[in-house]
Structure 1
Amino acid sequence: MGDILFLAHRVPFPPDRGDKIRGFNIVKYMSERRRVHIIAFADDDRDMKRKSGLGRFGGNRSIIWRSKPQWLSALQALALRRPVSLTAFENRPLQEAVDNILARHSIDTIYVFSSQMAQYLPARPRQRVIMDFVDVDSAKFDAYARSSRGLRSWMMRREATLLGQFERQVAARADANILVSQAEADLFVERTGAERVFAVENGIDIEFFDPSAQFKRVEAMGDLIVFTGQMDYRPNIEAVTWFVDTILPHIRVSRPSARFAIVGRRPTDAVKALAKQPGVMVTGEVADVRGWLAAASVVVAPLKLARGIQNKVLEAMAMGRPVVATQAAAEGIDHAGTIKVGQGVGEIAEAVIDLLANRDAATELGAAARAHVMARYSWAACLAPLDQIVGLNGRPMPARRTAA
């Protein structure tokens, strides 16, 4: 068997946000069975400094700095009639790194992590191509278009159309197409007509996210409601804004001391402004999110737009915390009733209030969530399908099929 080339739109180390967590664990899993070379972008100077953490995986690694401004990507996309998602990641040094690795090493499999990186595939690859779309990005832009107006809505519709065409073209060339959940896989088949589509779910590090592990604790704050996430990401911004503006006031009528902590790196000005509202705090980046999760009376995931499996929900469940999520945030997770799911303002507010008022029930729900995650969502169990899909065990690829 030859080596694997792993192409990623963001360097998968340190595993401190959703896409990097998935990428890191896939690289770790594959490198225990095959030699893996990594070529990826970095858009955070701290990631450039810490990229040496990938050295233990044994193969070559090329981490390319990505600094193209969004406005330039948009102009190029309009001029070339391409999706902004592709022009934003168009980079000659990275293409040269790919060409060099393919020329110098015996690569028999290229694992492409996210659709943006498919533009770096050879025109007629001799290697097997494993395309990990993760989510159906074109569907995300469709949703953005519906919730936007004017020029922004037009740009989002354009992106959805062009990216959808690209997804179909790439899927037709790939030997296997991977999505993060069965729901996303089914949606992908519906939108693209693709074959050879498989669901490979996200897992959770149940030893790290363990309420009994050693980590710095956050002082108890009574009725503390916590949201975690990357706070310059539009769905997260919309989620916390909706919660603060419409849901938290209902909660504070019954629980006046309730506080809402927005925990995550790079909060935008709009997110920071939410701290002016009664009972709201914005922490910015924290060294270890486990302290805030452990202190939470309830963890919320009030996302209106969500694709695939939400790591933030799995992390809270693994920490034994009671979770209240929207249907969109819970859709990709087999939670077996161990989290509360609501849709409108009233349902979510009522679920949070009930858990704050009944600590025994909240504790019981959190314990059940952790037990379920331990049984269902270890990374080893979730990534086991890669043995056959990628051919890690030396066996033939599975028969071509579509998602159920």
Structure 2
Amino acid sequence: MNKPPLLYLVHRIPYPPNKGDKIRSYNILRELNKHFTVHVVCFMDDPHDAQYIPALEQECASLYVESQNKIWCLAKAAFGLITGNPLSLPYYASRAMQRQVNKLVNQHQIKHALVFSSTMGQFIYPQPELRVVTDFVDVDSDKWRQYALQGNLIKRWIYNREQRTLQKEEQNLCSRSAFSTFVSPQEAELFRQLMPTSLHDKIGHLYNGVDVSYFNPSGEFAPCEQPIDVCFTGAMDYWANVDAVLWFAQNVWPLVRQQKPDATFYIVGGNPSDKVLALDGKLGIRVTGRVADVRPYAMKAKINVAPLQIARGIQNKVLEAMALAKPVVATSLAIEGINTDAPAVFISDQPSDFADIVLTQIDTPAEASSSREWIIQNLRWDNALSKLPGLIKGTENQ
């Protein structure tokens, strides 16, 4: 039986699944392939990912990847200040991509589309016959509201403007979509509060999942030889992650080192910013940069931390540490949407309390097998995305 064609629009190449949004977008692709002939159209913002295009081509019927030049994208975004649009839209605007979308829809008689991230919605507006489901993932406009709480006067003005204008675009896209999904019930509820009542019934959630066979403490991966007490994993050019490790390094880590002068803190993730790189070598902090596999580091650490001060949605770094049966301490923002009572998952927003938890875990790490069991029972990818094909086809109501 032939599977119907589907257009999958993604703001970042969905492979390899090595950072938050790409983990979700890739696992969505795997689920879509079971039910559709998938045509992927995406951007690539990191030249390092070009090597993975051949592998991704094996996972879809067709693949269109457009490289982004950051300087040119920022110049396009600035044009949004004149038009009144959110800066995110012109940042991703592309006539070449629009032509490719139009070509695919006409050539393959595509009737269904999945839009991943609000910035990609602009490419489906010229195709009114498409049945569209949009996976917003997070409420991006609210991230900009959080960003506006920091920074100088000019930055706060830009971020507040982006929050207002992007929220309008989110409403437009939600209106155009047959259904809109988010990464957690909390995220979906926040979006409902921002939207007109008429849209509430077509807003729902699809949890993130974890590849429990990959993130398995008994799995096959090279052991880490370095002594690691505390570990943070994540893309280190992402503002929220940068902010998190800086907060931890400035407010928590000195308290830990007062009691444990030899304690080590590893920051593991690609493209570390200058501010993150400046931490390397100070007070037992090591900044690794891009690594082939985060599992050896997370496994070697006595405790993994997620000290995020800005966050939306569900944090994969927390789920992955839980799947590896490792203790985790996170801020309340970082744990939002993960409704677990696993005893080795700790929550703290105060530096002194956060430091006390870290110190206790360095001395005697908590037994965390129940964390892995909770993940297996609640957040496997095959269960998390099971309703998505029906939402796209219109045969499933959440």
Smaller-chain TM-score bracket: over 0.9
Q: Is the 8 A contact 2:113 2:130 kept in 1?
A: yes
The CA deviation at 1:68 is 4.5
Quick one: distance in 1 between partners of 2:140 and 2:108?
32
1:402 corresponding residue in structure 2:
none
Quick one: distance in 2 between partners of 1:275 and 1:58?
40
2:211 corresponding residue in structure 1:
205
1:163 corresponding residue in structure 2:
166
Q: Which of 109, 121, 125 matches 1:106?
A: 109
2:255 corresponding residue in structure 1:
250
1:326 corresponding residue in structure 2:
331
The CA deviation at 1:48 is 2.3
Spell out, residue by residue over 1:309-331, the C-alpha distance to the aligned partner (whole angstroms, 9 max, x if none).
10111111111110000000001
Aligned pairs, number: 391
TM-score by length of 1: 0.94
2:25 corresponding residue in structure 1:
23
2:299 corresponding residue in structure 1:
294
- SS state at 2:246 partner: helix
Quick one: distance in 2 between partners of 1:329 and 1:374?
20
The CA deviation at 1:118 is 0.3
Code of the residue aligned with 2:114 in structure 1: it is Y
Quick one: distance in 2 between partners of 1:57 and 1:285?
25
- SS state at 2:188 partner: helix
Query: Which portions of structure 1, spanning 4 or more consecutive aligned residues, are displaced by more than 6 angstroms?
Result: none
2:13 corresponding residue in structure 1:
11
* Mean Cα deviation higher: 322-331 or 69-78: 69-78
* Mean Cα deviation higher: 137-146 or 327-336: 327-336
1:358 corresponding residue in structure 2:
364
* Percentage of pairs with the same residue: 36
1:281 corresponding residue in structure 2:
286
1:153 corresponding residue in structure 2:
156
- SS state at 2:61 partner: strand
Quick one: distance in 2 between partners of 1:122 and 1:270?
40
RMSD of the TM alignment (CA)? 1.5
Spell out, residue by residue over 1:122-176, the C-alpha distance to the aligned partner (whole angstroms, 9 max, x if none).
3352121101100000000011111222111100001001001110111111100
- SS state at 2:190 partner: helix
The CA deviation at 1:276 is 4.2
Quick one: distance in 1 between partners of 2:383 and 2:395?
20
State yes or no: 1:91 paired with 2:94: yes
The CA deviation at 1:343 is 1.1
The CA deviation at 1:4 is 1.0
The CA deviation at 1:336 is 2.2
Code of the residue aligned with 1:159 in structure 2: it is E
State yes or no: 1:217 paired with 2:240: no
State yes or no: 1:129 paired with 2:132: yes
Code of the residue aligned with 2:339 in structure 1: it is D
* Mean Cα deviation higher: 212-221 or 83-92: 212-221
Quick one: distance in 2 between partners of 1:12 and 1:214?
24
- SS state at 1:39 partner: strand
- SS state at 2:40 partner: strand
Code of the residue aligned with 2:310 in structure 1: it is L
- SS state at 1:132 partner: strand
The CA deviation at 1:44 is 1.6
The CA deviation at 1:260 is 0.6
Q: Is the 8 A contact 2:13 2:22 kept in 1?
A: yes
The CA deviation at 1:186 is 0.2
State yes or no: 1:75 paired with 2:78: yes
1:335 corresponding residue in structure 2:
340
2:176 corresponding residue in structure 1:
173
* Mean Cα deviation higher: 122-131 or 239-248: 122-131
Q: Is the 8 A contact 2:342 2:370 kept in 1?
A: no
Q: Is the 8 A contact 2:40 2:60 kept in 1?
A: no
Quick one: distance in 2 between partners of 1:165 and 1:65?
28
Q: Which of 27, 50, 53 matches 1:51?
A: 53
Quick one: distance in 1 between partners of 2:277 and 2:102?
44
The CA deviation at 1:198 is 1.1
